Structure 1
């Protein structure tokens, strides 16, 4: 028997009052599917509910959590709880008391489990009306709510981004007035809500709201100060902040790509220079990708992203400013690029799907000049990469005719970082001249390298 059928049976056979609740009801009203169902049960304990479920559904693995029980079945996650009041749970609290514990009106609706359709909707705070108006409102006075619970400010943005709703004006002004209180919120909670904004359908829209409210300045001030930083109008219509937000919105729905797009030009304010050459005014941002990569790594580590994520994102930013010139790039230069961004047999088959190229695509589409996402030069570059890749025998350390074991045996070296440094040095030589990939030649080069290093 399906879980909902069992709960309907429980509702009919006992004094229990069982309701759909929370985000699930919001999605029902919005006619959206859910993979998570929240259930509120009155008049009977969760222990009674658990026993009843197990009696009708053997082998059901029910997990006891604080104030609720949880289990998954048929790809649906169920959360069943008693009503809540001031942080405590009881089967005898009312739905009105429970609704007060909710943050947002759209999540404070209930539907009796026996109802057919939303006709029996219990809507204490007019959440259905806010859904019709596509608006996010809090329960209570917005200024007081944001002061008492500063975490609700980032949660407001992430919920608005998830639903693609606007934020009630009173709530927005409360966030703007109290944005400095976000410093009281744990970094992990901020990161959790920030990721939901970045991964939403329209991240640029809600990241802009994050900036306008002052929250961006408190959380990522390095990005916030990009506002109003003008660029060379020949290549960019927008200021740096607008360009970064737009690039994030253009990027595919992948966290690494979107973070890289959001932060790819964060180093520009640090290196911006205004120069006059030949009587012409020009704005330059030399090496902004180098500065930006370092800044992005610090930002992501500060926001508690793991080292690997921070490294991958910063590497993308560092490499996004390649400037391919067909007549100037030798085959060796192309090989250096292949090695630099780690193109292997797997990637060469789907070269245009390389993250650095996808970032470049999002970057180009965000310049506001209505250019094609992929330039003719980029198409030519990818074709050249494939040609050089197929013609080259050595592009990675593993392709060398020498390895770490040989270095240890021939030169009495100990395993460690030095072995990696030597192999990378040899790779740089062979990338320039493929004929150098001979064991005797490479051993001779190692001898030269070590003799120089020891001086």
Structure 2
């Protein structure tokens, strides 16, 4: 197929003009490549996003220059250059606020059991575009000609107008070349709100097992992008329906518990997705889109399938599902190679997500409120968001009562925080004071003494040094002479 120079009409010309105006550095970079006798084209997502009116500051280019030639040109143009992807043909640079990645024309595919693609450099932009994941990402804007030329050999513009995801080659061939594209389909459906072509969906379903050859890190990165999109429900549902989730996050499809006429309970899968959406609606409390709260919301009930118990006479219980779910969350996130801080935060939130339901109508003592704050630690606002999002009842009176009760708990936390600096709860004496008062050296006894003082602090609030000293000495005497 020859490269098609499309006559875009008024709308298309406007898109190109908008792209050039919004990415002025693209023109200067093109001049640098043209000066050395090479071609350069803006390609893929940035072209798509420019047409959609959502172009950002990260630009992707393709060129007939080989990687080391690209690196040399970028060094003369960019403020900073890095070549961590040079083996795959990619060199990156940054100039001002704009980051660029320039990749040599290439073709790539996965061998049957390989976790990394075999990359071969190509000679034409046509070949480069044919190897890309979806037609809406297989458009290019050639910048080194007399004037910018729009290149669209697979009617990506038409698919963009129809809001559909289709592959340049057959979906089977595309996903065989790179199985991660199956997850990208779900991710783009979430990010763009597009439908997936039926051939693509069929291939994803029949080839889902191929995702197992992809490294956990790459799978994680795609899953995170999906989860952080504006419409994660769309992508998660696609992963579940095609069977990809069974291999990537199997705990999620397991939430689709069977429900019979005698043992009624909420659809846990639907509930979890709704909790995710309701948490997203409160993210302004966390400063904007937040990966930890989204993961915790999605995973908070994954302990239910393992703890499900059918009760005599009807009904279902899920005793200690928060404990089981916390462990399962940790294991899944470790398998996906999440960083330790994120794993620990999500594990903590899943473990604590039911704590509020012991609050009743506000019967907790100040001590219990202090413990709630201490156990949440830096994740207190996350826990507020998760707990509120976890109310998906259709009973308006019950929902209103729960909201008002949690309002009351937050008010009590605020009042105690003002009085006692709850976020900085610590014993009234420090380790040095304990050792001086008790005449002991650093040892396990110091830790036990501090634990005793912390319990006093939690139970009674600030004691002051004088009373804390009296209590400590009495405790020490009782330990020495029981």
TM-score calculated relative to the size of structure 2: 0.79
Residue number among 304, 310, 335 corresponding to 1:302 in the alignment = 335
Residue number among 248, 269, 281 corresponding to 1:241 in the alignment = 269
Corresponding residue number in structure 1 for 2:63: 41
Cα distance, 1:139 vs. partner?
Answer: 2.6
Report SS of the residue matched to 1:225: helix
Distance in 2, Cα, partners of 1:231 & 1:355: 35
Once the two structures are superposed, residues 177-215 of structure 1 have per-residue CA deviations (whole angstroms, 9 ceiling, x without a partner) of 121222221111111111111111111221111111111
Residue number among 16, 20, 24 corresponding to 2:46 in the alignment = 24
Q: Which has the higher mean CA deviation after the structures are superposed, 19-28 or 142-151?
A: 142-151
Equivalent pair of 2:211/2:247 in contact (CA under 8 Å): yes
Residue number among 258, 262, 275 corresponding to 2:311 in the alignment = 275
Q: Which has the higher mean CA deviation after the structures are superposed, 182-191 or 332-341?
A: 332-341
Q: Which has the higher mean CA deviation after the structures are superposed, 193-202 or 425-434?
A: 425-434
Distance in 1, Cα, partners of 2:42 & 2:243: 36
Corresponding residue number in structure 1 for 2:321: 288
Cα distance, 1:420 vs. partner?
Answer: 4.3
Q: Which has the higher mean CA deviation after the structures are superposed, 221-230 or 314-323?
A: 221-230
Report SS of the residue matched to 1:342: helix
Residue pairs, 1:74-153, within 5 angstroms:
74-85=96-107, 87-89=119-121, 93-113=123-143, 120-153=149-182
Equivalent pair of 2:211/2:244 in contact (CA under 8 Å): yes
Cα distance, 1:49 vs. partner?
Answer: 6.1
Distance in 2, Cα, partners of 1:52 & 1:150: 33
Cα distance, 1:431 vs. partner?
Answer: 2.2
Equivalent pair of 1:231/1:283 in contact (CA under 8 Å): no
Q: Which has the higher mean CA deviation after the structures are superposed, 98-107 or 323-332?
A: 323-332
Corresponding residue number in structure 1 for 2:432: 405
Cα distance, 1:104 vs. partner?
Answer: 1.9
Equivalent pair of 1:104/1:137 in contact (CA under 8 Å): yes
Structure 2: gaps (5+ residues): 1-23, 109-118, 281-288
Cα distance, 1:325 vs. partner?
Answer: 2.7
Structure 1: gaps (5+ residues): 348-352
Cα distance, 1:20 vs. partner?
Answer: 1.6
Corresponding residue number in structure 1 for 2:94: 72
Distance in 1, Cα, partners of 2:422 & 2:71: 63
Corresponding residue number in structure 2 for 1:354: 381
Alpha-carbon spacing, 1:368–1:205, altered in 2? closer, same or farther (3 Å) = farther
Distance in 2, Cα, partners of 1:420 & 1:133: 66
Corresponding residue number in structure 1 for 2:416: 388
Corresponding residue number in structure 2 for 1:331: 366
Alpha-carbon spacing, 1:415–1:162, altered in 2? closer, same or farther (3 Å) = farther
Residue number among 224, 228, 241 corresponding to 2:257 in the alignment = 228
Distance in 2, Cα, partners of 1:79 & 1:11: 14
Alpha-carbon spacing, 1:392–1:94, altered in 2? closer, same or farther (3 Å) = closer
Distance in 2, Cα, partners of 1:397 & 1:239: 40
Corresponding residue number in structure 2 for 1:350: none
Corresponding residue number in structure 2 for 1:341: 376
Distance in 1, Cα, partners of 2:409 & 2:217: 41
Distance in 2, Cα, partners of 1:135 & 1:266: 32
Equivalent pair of 1:229/1:240 in contact (CA under 8 Å): no
Distance in 1, Cα, partners of 2:478 & 2:453: 9
Cα distance, 1:173 vs. partner?
Answer: 1.4
Residue pairs, 1:162-241, within 5 angstroms:
162-230=191-259, 238-241=266-269
Residue pairs, 1:306-317, within 5 angstroms:
306-317=339-350
Once the two structures are superposed, residues 335-380 of structure 1 have per-residue CA deviations (whole angstroms, 9 ceiling, x without a partner) of 332323237xxx9xxxxx811011112222x445564697111112
Distance in 2, Cα, partners of 1:245 & 1:40: 38
Cα distance, 1:38 vs. partner?
Answer: 1.9
Residue number among 80, 86, 107 corresponding to 1:61 in the alignment = 80
Equivalent pair of 2:256/2:268 in contact (CA under 8 Å): yes
Once the two structures are superposed, residues 95-139 of structure 1 have per-residue CA deviations (whole angstroms, 9 ceiling, x without a partner) of 111112212211111112268998x32111111111111122223
Equivalent pair of 2:189/2:234 in contact (CA under 8 Å): no
Distance in 2, Cα, partners of 1:148 & 1:69: 22
Cα distance, 1:392 vs. partner?
Answer: 4.4
Corresponding residue number in structure 1 for 2:470: 441
Equivalent pair of 1:69/1:79 in contact (CA under 8 Å): yes
Distance in 1, Cα, partners of 2:188 & 2:217: 17
